[in-house]
Amino acid sequence: NAGVTQTPKFQVLKTGQSMTLQCAQDMNHNSMYWYRQDPGMGLRLIYYSASEGTTDKGEVPNGYNVSRLNKREFSLRLESAAPSQTSVYFCASSARDLNEQFFGPGTRLTVL
């Protein structure tokens, strides 16, 4: 039981490049989330998926897109990376509303 897994662990991009961050959970959770964590700030929600087939914007969605591929997988795509997107990205999942969220190990992204 791996919990929440994320790939890659580290990534360096040049401005304008695109990439997809992958997230998978094996806990049969309905809800999944993408956050970013910047120094001196709390985690901020980018997008979330309350259930398979649905996605909604969070607090800071600009510059990102998501896909809930199936119940297990939730990907985050940067179409044209910008230096302001340099951050640590966390994926999380939860069983249902108000339940504990379980976090993955994070992806450290640097955009030059």
Partner 1 sequence: KNQVEQSPQSLIILEGKNCTLQCNYTVSPFSNLRWYKQDTGRGPVSLTIMTFSENTKSNGRYTATLDADTKQSSLHITASQLSDSASYICVVSDPGGYNKLIFGAGTRLAVHP
Binding positions for partner 1, rule: CB under 8 A: 4, 31, 40-45, 48, 50, 56, 58, 90, 92, 94, 96-106
Query: Cβ of residue 107: shortest distance to partner 1, in angstroms?
Result: 10
SS3 83: helix
Please provide the distance, in angstroms rounded to a whole number, between the alpha carbons at the two ends of the chain: 36
Helix residue spans in 1-112 (DSSP H) = none
CA 34/CA 46 separation, integer angstroms: 5
State the nearest-atom distance from the C-beta of 112 to partner 1, in Å: 21
Report CA dihedral (22, 11, 84, 100) to the nearest 10 degrees. Answer: 40
Q: Which is nearer to partner 1, 31 or 85 (CB)?
A: 31
Pick 17 or 22: Cβ nearer partner 1:
22
- Which C-beta is closer to partner 1: that of 17 or that of 75? 75
